[in-house]
Chains A and B, each alone.
Chain A
């Protein structure tokens, strides 16, 4: 898998974590489970900064732009379609065993696509 794609997927998971801890209901549940969430949000934001430094400006820019526009920048391909907008993806790309070894974007919505291994 393309290293930049791996980093973009991890950045996405990190952003979900930040978004979740910003949600009152999820924070409340974490506390109910007995977990301490104080300071976690700040630490996650700092980790995010570090992560971003490892991503090329071109992909970071696209990621941020897509996140602002759609709320999610990276989506899986599901049965040959972009899971974000359901556009059918080019067959040649979908059938390529090396499809994750470079970054592909959806021809319609522009989201970054990965294929589950």
Chain B
């Protein structure tokens, strides 16, 4: 699976919308596309907050505005209201829309589910970028298999 992984330690935003914007700012897409990606992620959050394992948020969607799976992770020691529960780890990911993408997206969701099930507590407690990315099974800004 090809992906691009980005990271921000420590997030400066203090609300869900601001965090999504802060992480989308790491994406190599234009301002208009960023705005439209924020709209898609907001829609997904509106129909059900993506908080798992007490303090991990997983904002995600598929969009025609990205050409490969793009992941951006962030940490906030102060915590971010999401909006009812506080989260300290955010794993934002956007999968592309193409013919094989539903299967790839499903495969990636299974990957994330496995990591959270096996290492959720460690992910929450992780104190640096390398540790967090390793626990999630990502390599920073590299093409994954």
| A43 (CB) vs chain B CBs: closest residue | B47
Q: In which size bucket is the chain B interface?
A: 20 to 34
Residues A34-57 near B (CB distance < 8 A): 34-37, 39-40, 43-44, 47
Find out whether the CB atom of A37 lies under 8 angstroms from the CB atom of B53: no
- Contact A39:B47 (CB < 8 A) given known A14-B40, A25-B106: yes
Residues of A close to B30: CB separation below 8 A:
116-117
B110 at the A interface (CB under 8 A):
yes
Within 8 Å CB of B64, what residues of A?
Answer: 9, 12-13, 16, 72, 74-76
Interface size for A (C-beta < 8 A) is: 34
List of A residues within 8 angstroms of B116 by Cβ: 33-34
User: What chain A residues lie within 8 Å of B102 (beta carbons)?
Assistant: 19-20, 23, 25-26
Identify whether the interface residues of B are mostly helix, strand, loop, or mixed. helix
Shortest CB distance B45–A (Å): 11
User: What is the bound-complex CA distance between A75 and B97, given in angstroms?
Assistant: 10
Point out residues on B near A: beta carbons under 8 Å: 29-33, 36, 39-40, 43-44, 46-48, 50, 52-53, 58, 61-65, 67, 97, 102-103, 105-106, 109-110, 112-113, 116-117
**How many angstroms between the C-alpha atoms of A19 and B95 in the bound complex?**
14
